[in-house]
Amino acid sequence: MQKLYLISGLGADRRLFDKLQLLGYELVHVDWIEPEPIDTITTYAKKLIDIYQIPHGANVLGVSLGGVMTVEISTLIPLGKVIIVSSIKSAEEIPAYFRFFRNVPVYKIIPHGFYTSMGSIIKPLFGDTKGKAGFLFVDMIKKSSPVFMRWAMHAILHWVPKPLGGKIHHIIGNNDLIFPHRRIVTATHIIEKGSHDMVYTRAAEISKLVLSILNDETA
């Protein structure tokens, strides 16, 4: 059975993928590890490759920050299918607000305790804030490492994308408030009314699309 490596987003964990139905594939969760202060997106991606023994030709799917890591991994080793959801892959797609937070790095002065308690405040940015999805979002942030979250905010704000090493299957929702789809000019798949958390809230639709990509049934 082929493996599919899954990398979740910032403030999320493997539960983000709980609703995906990808029959015929062994799902391998690439969980976040504690970074060194000097780590960059590149050095961290290298660590993920080594720790999880991601082989050449692997199929990898990443969401949000996990999508950025997936893109970075694809520049370090040759991959099979590269799928990113609710994410970005090039400098042209970086949202304008990144520039503000580079110049005004408020994330550096936020107390560590706030990182894990801000779920209820920011969850409207991610999409469905009701019921189980809303609870899950808050709980994932609550159980995240504040050290990792502060590092990740700095790392992604200062990420310098490399030239892409191969084809990226890019799935974006046109209601994504974190990575607006209007900047994603080369998305391969646009999900109507899809929000940033659609890998969970629109799991049936995303599952079908991902399977079609993995099985070479779509361009």
Where are the domains positioned within the chain?
2-214
Q: Residue 115's pLDDT is what?
A: 44
| 3.20.20.70, 3.40.50.1820, 3.40.50.620, 1.10.600.10: CATH of 2-214 | 3.40.50.1820
What string of H, E and C letters represents the secondary structure of 187-218? CCEEECCCCCCHHHHCHHHHHHHHHHHHCCCC
Q: Residue 92's pLDDT is what?
A: 93
Element (H, E) at 67: helix 65-76
Q: Residue 21's pLDDT is what?
A: 96
* Cα gap 79→88, rounded to integer Å: 18
Element (H, E) at 68: helix 65-76
Q: State the burial class of residue 166 (Cβ atoms within 10 Å of its Cβ: 0-12, 13-18, 19+).
A: exposed
- CB count within 10 Å of CB 61 equals 30
Q: Residue 141's pLDDT is what?
A: 75
CA quadruple 142, 89, 163, 71: dihedral sign: positive
Distances (CA, A) of 33 to 39, 44, 146, 150, 152: 12, 9, 12, 13, 11
* Cα gap 172→196, rounded to integer Å: 8
Q: Block means of pLDDT (10 residues each) for the chain, length 219 residues?
A: 94 92 97 96 98 98 97 97 97 86 62 48 54 67 83 92 92 93 92 93 96 86
Spatial CA neighbour of 126 closest among 206, 64, 188, 41? 64
Q: Residue 200's pLDDT is what?
A: 93
pTM of the model: 0.90
Q: Residue 121's pLDDT is what?
A: 45
Whether the CB-CB separation of 22 and 4 falls below 8 Å is answered with: yes
